[in-house]
Structure formats: C-alpha cells, structure tokens
C-alpha cells in the first residue's frame, strides 16, 4: 500500500517529467524506441501491475523492471510489482547464497506480492522459510498445507487498496502440485500440496469468494502452474475454467467478457511467452529470465482491467538473448545486481579447462501443431548429457573402490531437467560448471533390479518428444525410445507423486549395458543424483529400493574433476555430437503389420494330400524389422507352421473339411525397433 502525494507534488512531478522528456529529445538520454512506444503518454488514474516469473537468477533484469516501475510512476500510475515464482534458483548468482541474493534484489525493487514456484523448494524448508522471512513482499499460496498444523503454510490471499481511489485488488496464489515430484522429496517433509483437483479448485473458488466479500473489485491469481502438457492436469487453463464462475457472484452471473475485465491469471512455470490463452483466456506469462515484463493496466474509475501486454526486455524470446539497449533502468537496483554478480564472478572465475565444441544446454521442445521438434536435454540425448554422465561413472568407479562395484554392470545417469545451461566453445570456469548444475546435488549409488531400471526408463521418457525433466542422459547404457508408442500409465500415481508409473513397457527398449545384453532379472548399479535416488520427477522405481548409498560428493565437483583429470582440461571433438546412447525412433509397436486379407481361406484338394503333405502361405507380413519367426498357438492337429517361413503345412492324408490354425508372428528387435508380436488365424479348406 502506498501513500499518495498531494496536488502540489503532482504538479512538481509533471514539471520534472516534462524536463526528462526534453532531455530525451535532445539526446542526453537514449531510450529504446520500441520500449518507449509500448507505453501510453499518461497513466493518471491507472493502477498498473508489473509481473515477473521464472527469473531463475537473471539478476540483471531486476534493474529494468524497477526502471519501468519508476517510469510508469512518473507518468502518473500507481504501480504494484508481483512475481509468479521460481526466483531463488537457476543460476550461480542465486544458488551460491541458497536463494538469498534473489530476496535482496526483490526487496531493492519493492515487490509487494509473490507466490512460490517449485524451485523455491530446491533448498530445505527451513532455508526457504528463513529466506521468505527476509522478503518484504507478501507470500501467497492457496494449496500448500502444513500437515502438522493442518493449515496453509502461507497466507492464501491479500487485498491491495488504492489510497487515491476506491479500487481494491484481491490477490491469491497457486503453486504447482508437481512440486512434490520436481523437488527432492526430503525437502518437503511436513508439507502437502493439494493434488486433488476438486479440492484444489474448490479452495481457489473459496479464496476468490473471500476476497470479493472483502470488497475486491479485481481478482489476480499469481499462479505457478504453467500450460505445458507435462503439467497436466494442473495447468492454468484448468484453473481458469474451474474458477471463473466465482467472479462477480455478488452481482449475479457475468458474461465471459465481463469476467476478463475483473479476473486475470499471472502465470509461470512453463516459461511460455503469452499475453492471453490460446482461446483468449485471461492468462499471461512472460517467458523466463526477464524475456519480458507482464503489464496489467487497471482503470481506477471503472474498476476494470483495461488491457494487459508484454513489455519486451530481450532482443528475442530466448533466455540467452541480449537485453535491449536503452531500457528504462533503476540505478540503485543496477548497482546491487552488479555488486552481487561481480562478487560471484570473482569467486568462481577460475578457469578449469576449455571446450573445443559447443555443449548443448537447451531444454528441447515439441510443437504439436507444426510437428517441429527441437532436440535438447529434456527430449533427447545431448553431448553435454553424455559428458556429465560419463563424469559420474568415471569418478565413482575410479575413487569408489571400497564400494566394490562391477564396472560391467554399472551405469550413470543425469536427468535432463537438472541441466540448466550450456557451455559455449571456449574457456570453462567454475561458474560455468555451477550454471550447468546449480542444485548442489550429491551422487548416489543405487543398486536396482533390471526390471526396475526398465520401468524407470519407460517413465522417464513418457512424454517425449515433449520436453520432460526426467528424460535420461546416460553413460554405460544404450536404449531405444519409440516416440510414437502410447505410454500406458498405471491407475494411480506413484506414492507422494503426480507422475504415473507404467503399467506395461511400450516405449523403451534397453539395448545393452556396457556392451552386453540387458537382463531384467540382473541387478545393476545406477550412479545418479540424490534427487533421482529419492524418487524425484519420474524416478520412484529407484526410490522403491532400499539399497542406496549417498556418496556425499557434489555433481559439479565430479564434472570439474573429470574435465581436469580425465580429459586433461579440454573437452575435445569426441563430444562434438551426442554419441548414440539414446536412439529415438518414430515407430510404434505396430512396426509389424499383418494383412488380415492375406489370411483368407486357402483351399487344397484332398487328392493332392493322398501321397504327400502340402505347404501353403497363409500369412503375409509387412513392415517387420529384424528376423520374423512363427509359432502355432492352437488349431487342428492336421496343421503345423514352419517357424522360419510361416508356411502352413497340411499333413498327408488329411481328408475333406475346414481346418483352423492360430499363429503368433514375432519380429525380433533390431538396433532401431523393439520386438513386436501379433496373432492371426488362418482357415484351410480341403475339398
């Protein structure tokens, strides 16, 4: 809540604004033309909400959102700054202080309301609560429960009242229930995320009703749900559909257009750039790392949302794109970000090696409408994923002799979601390594049966080519992922998770373990992070084993050792491309096609069977990959099947009549395709 200035001060500010505009005109200040054109000349009588989401440690961007706030206030606006989560983790600049540097920046900016994202829970709960206790903004969340107190951990709602008008804005927060699987489970002890949709949306509707009873004219949800497929069913589209009927209930039912003037969801989590939903839903998201700033303009007289738009900060909608030149900026915030970044740069600037190739840090993406696939760590094998998993395997086998591991049965794994940045060709510093893996995960030794390993691989690739944080980067194991095969989920999710394990194995084939055939009954050793070992993301299959040893050695330290000691300080051409450990195919189990038309009745004359047996081709196979074999399942004793050719043999002396045979056709696996099986019935008529 802000204290409003009197008329004399407003007049004085108008003179200052006019002088500032004159300075811009004569060239003393160079303001980006696109940025300036996005704003109206006056915001008198307007309340403006400025949104950030998924900042992930991009501290430089805070000076620009603060600068935009300053400029809007100079133009007469009442400005409220909000954030939709994931600000404490994602780069060394915030990870080094376990999130506190983000809090320092947000306090300097003057944020007033925030909700928490899943990455706020990457540190233990005590650390999180200490950090948030130092944050000047109100923390809002409707769906995080303290299991001991049986109450919500944070305040669910807040009411903002304008001092120079009757406008009241109600805020409530929604965090993704998938936090339970996206964060290390041990960090969430004592907390429960509401995962039942009916309860979740019912709670949100109750919060909206409570705000309206307090006089809220506008309802704003700070949401960290996202809109991507992997977040289903907990997406902001569903939140809107299940809560819009609560808006304006005191005045009776509202039209959809009227609702959109009173209700907006400021979203996060999926890093989407959107001003509205695909069907015009009032949902806005800015991308990530200050690609944009979300702007909501509310007219204080009509008490309605006038418009919302994205204010561009970066040259393109890419988290690595440069910030535009000449943006409005706040000097104090800039100085604080420079101070923090300089300190971290000095601390971690030591060169530890170099790379002759670009190491892929992209997440990957899939556009269902166009079919365009961008390959990255969350939907395919990458050279950086190979490098990291190789480092894990090399280090633990070299320095973990006391563990008694069998190298031929030991593999290493990194989930794609834990790879947060790439490394461009050139020098590699300590900071580069920490930017790639900022979570301070430790490496665990997981002894697991082959069937559980296969289950984990099926679950980890359930959404590909849609990007999924569990997608495996591997060392010592080769798999084939059939992206066209439909994932077969269990009836209930994994315990304490929002992810569903596989009922059957349809998508993944494990080709080999260190060059030898995979055996689902064998016990293998998996070297992976404590996040994976504790069942994070899609990896409950590993957590279900009780044979896990945490080495206590940090993942980033292992990668540094591998670079210096094993590679001699240089990543060479051997890592120029991904090395073929995860092969992607677009064939489903229907790679084996049986033409039923070819199994029509075959006719043989009884006279031809008097002296010898006869062979007829009753089954035609198309689309099979690899060796095809045939097996009789049932049918007449007068008929048999040639296992190699598939020809049906009619025994000598078979008399007139109709004879049936049921045949199983099996196509063996090749390098690219899983084995496939089909059954078919053939009818033989003897006349």
pLDDT per residue over 147-177, tens digit each? Answer: 888 889 999 999 999 878 999 999 999 999 9
Quote the pLDDT of residue 14: 37
Token pair for residue 31?
Answer: 């303001």
pLDDT band at residue 592, thresholds of 50, 70 and 90? low
pLDDT tens, position by position, 365-404: 988 888 899 999 999 999 999 999 999 999 999 998 888 9
Quote the pLDDT of residue 13: 42
674-680 mean pLDDT: 74
Of 261 and 621, which is predicted with more confidence? Answer: 261
pLDDT tens, position by position, 111-152: 999 999 999 988 878 889 999 999 999 999 999 998 888 889
pLDDT tens, position by position, 203-225: 999 999 999 999 999 999 999 99
How deeply is 70 buried, as exposed, middle or buried, from its count of CB atoms within 10 A (0-12, 13-18, 19+)? middle
What's the N-to-C CA distance of the chain in angstroms? 96
Q: Which domains does the chain have, with CATH numbers?
A: 31-342 (3.60.21.10), 348-585 (3.90.780.10), 590-686 (2.60.40.60)
**Residue (of 654, 619, 620) closest to 637 by Cα position:** 654
pLDDT tens, position by position, 433-481: 999 999 889 999 999 999 999 999 999 999 999 999 999 999 999 999 9
pLDDT tens, position by position, 305-362: 999 999 999 999 988 899 999 999 999 999 999 999 999 999 999 999 999 999 999 9
pLDDT band at residue 675, thresholds of 50, 70 and 90? low
Quote the pLDDT of residue 234: 92
**Residue (of 134, 143, 115, 2) closest to 53 by Cα position:** 115
pLDDT band at residue 251, thresholds of 50, 70 and 90? low
- Indicate the pairing of strand 582-585 with strand 477-482: parallel
510-534 mean pLDDT: 95
Quote the pLDDT of residue 594: 55
pLDDT band at residue 593, thresholds of 50, 70 and 90? low
Give the start-end residues of each E strand in 506-564. Answer: 508-513, 516-517, 523-529, 548-554
297-308 mean pLDDT: 97
Using CA atoms, how far residue 511 sits from 243, 409, 485, 581, in Å, is 48, 14, 17, 9
521-527 mean pLDDT: 97
| Per-residue burial over 593-603, b = 16 or more CB atoms within 10 Å of its CB, e = otherwise | ebeeeebeebe
How deeply is 107 buried, as exposed, middle or buried, from its count of CB atoms within 10 A (0-12, 13-18, 19+)? middle
pLDDT tens, position by position, 4-52: 333 333 333 433 333 343 333 333 345 677 777 889 999 999 999 999 9
**Residue (of 171, 174, 172, 228) closest to 197 by Cα position:** 174
587-596 mean pLDDT: 54
- Indicate the pairing of strand 410-415 with strand 523-529: parallel
In Å, the largest CA–CA distance within the chain is: 119
Quote the pLDDT of residue 552: 86
Q: Report the DSSP beta bridge partners of residue 158.
A: 171
Quote the pLDDT of residue 600: 59
pLDDT band at residue 595, thresholds of 50, 70 and 90? low
- Is pLDDT at 589 greater than 50 in this prediction? no
Using CA atoms, how far residue 217 sits from 199, 284, 299, 590, in Å, is 25, 19, 11, 56
Map residue 617 onto helix, strand or coil. Answer: strand
Give the start-end residues of each E strand in 71-120. Answer: 78-83, 113-114
- Is pLDDT at 89 greater than 80 in this prediction? yes
């Amino acid at each position: 809540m802000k204290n409003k200035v009197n008329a004399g001060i407003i007049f004085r500010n108008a003179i200052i604004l006019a002088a500032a505009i004159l300075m811009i005109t004569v060239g003393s200040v160079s303001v980006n033309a696109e940025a300036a054109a996005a704003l109206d000349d006056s915001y008198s009588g307007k309340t403006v909400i400025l949104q950030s989401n998924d900042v992930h440690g991009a501290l430089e961007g805070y000076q620009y959102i603060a600068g935009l706030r300053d400029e809007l206030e100079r133009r007469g606006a009442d400005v409220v700054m909000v954030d939709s989560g994931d600000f404490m983790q994602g780069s060394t600049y915030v990870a080094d202080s376990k999130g506190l540097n983000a809090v320092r920046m947000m306090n300097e900016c003057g944020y007033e309301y925030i909700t928490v994202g899943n990455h706020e829970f990457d540190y233990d709960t005590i650390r999180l609560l200490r950090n948030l206790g130092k944050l000047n903004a109100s923390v809002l969340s409707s769906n995080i429960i303290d299991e001991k107190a049986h109450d919500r951990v944070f305040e669910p709602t807040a009411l903002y009242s304008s001092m120079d008008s009757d406008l009241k804005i109600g805020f409530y927060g929604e965090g993704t229930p998938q936090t339970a699987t996206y964060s290390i489970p041990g960090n969430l002890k004592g907390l429960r995320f509401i995962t039942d949709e009916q309860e979740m949306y019912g709670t949100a509707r109750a919060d909206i009703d409570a705000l309206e009873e307090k006089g809220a004219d506008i309802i704003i949800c700070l949401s960290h749900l996202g809109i991507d497929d992997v977040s289903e069913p907990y997406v902001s589209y569903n939140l809107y559909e299940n809560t819009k009927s609560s808006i304006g209930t005191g005045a009776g039912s509202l039209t959809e257009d009227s609702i959109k003037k009173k209700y907006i969801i400021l979203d996060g989590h999926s890093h989407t750039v959107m001003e509205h939903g695909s069907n015009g839903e009032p949902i806005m998201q800015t991308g990530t790392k200050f690609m944009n700033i979300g702007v909501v303009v509310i007219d204080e007289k009509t008490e309605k949302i006038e418009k919302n738009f994205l204010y561009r900060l970066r040259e393109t909608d890419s988290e690595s794109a440069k910030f535009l030149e000449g943006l409005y900026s706040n000097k104090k915030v800039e100085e604080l970000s420079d101070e923090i970044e300089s300190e971290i740069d000095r601390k971690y600037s030591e060169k530890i090696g170099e790379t002759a190739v670009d190491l892929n840090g992209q997440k990957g993406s899939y556009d269902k409408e166009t079919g365009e696939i961008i390959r990255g760590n969350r939907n395919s094998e990458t050279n950086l994923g190979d490098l990291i998993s190789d480092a894990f395997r090399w280090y633990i086998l070299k320095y973990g002799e006391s563990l008694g591991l069998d190298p031929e049965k030991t593999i290493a794994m990194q989930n794609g979601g834990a790879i947060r940045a790439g490394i461009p060709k050139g020098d590699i510093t300590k900071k580069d390594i920490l930017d790639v893996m900022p979570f301070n995960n430790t490496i665990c030794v997981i002894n697991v049966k082959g069937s559980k390993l296969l289950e984990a691989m099926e679950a980890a690739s359930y959404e590909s080519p849609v990007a999924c944080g569990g997608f495996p980067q591997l060392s010592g194991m080769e798999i084939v992922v059939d992206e066209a095969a439909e994932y077969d989920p269990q009836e209930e999710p994994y315990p304490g998770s929002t992810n569903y394990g596989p009922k059957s194995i349809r998508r993944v084939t494990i080709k080999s373990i260190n060059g030898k055939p995979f055996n689902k009954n064998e016990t293998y050793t998996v070297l992976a992070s404590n996040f994976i070992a504790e069942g994070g993301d899609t990896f409950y299959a590993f957590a279900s084993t009780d044979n896990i040893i945490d080495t206590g050695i940090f993942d980033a330290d292992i990668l540094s050792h591998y670079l210096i000691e094993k590679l001699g300080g240089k990543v060479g051409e051997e890592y120029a491309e991904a090395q073929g450990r995860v092969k992607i195919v677009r064939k489903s189990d229907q790679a084996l096609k049986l033409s039923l038309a070819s199994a029509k009745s075959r006719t043989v004359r009884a006279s031809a069977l008097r002296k010898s047996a006869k062979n007829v081709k009753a089954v035609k196979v198309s689309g099979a990959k690899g060796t095809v074999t045939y097996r009789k399942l049932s049918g007449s004793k007068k008929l048999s099947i040639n296992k190699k050719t598939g020809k049906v043999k009619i025994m000598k002396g078979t008399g007139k009549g109709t004879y049936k045979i049921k045949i199983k056709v099996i196509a063996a696996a090749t390098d690219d395709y899983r084995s496939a099986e089909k059954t078919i019935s053939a009818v033989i008529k003897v006349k």
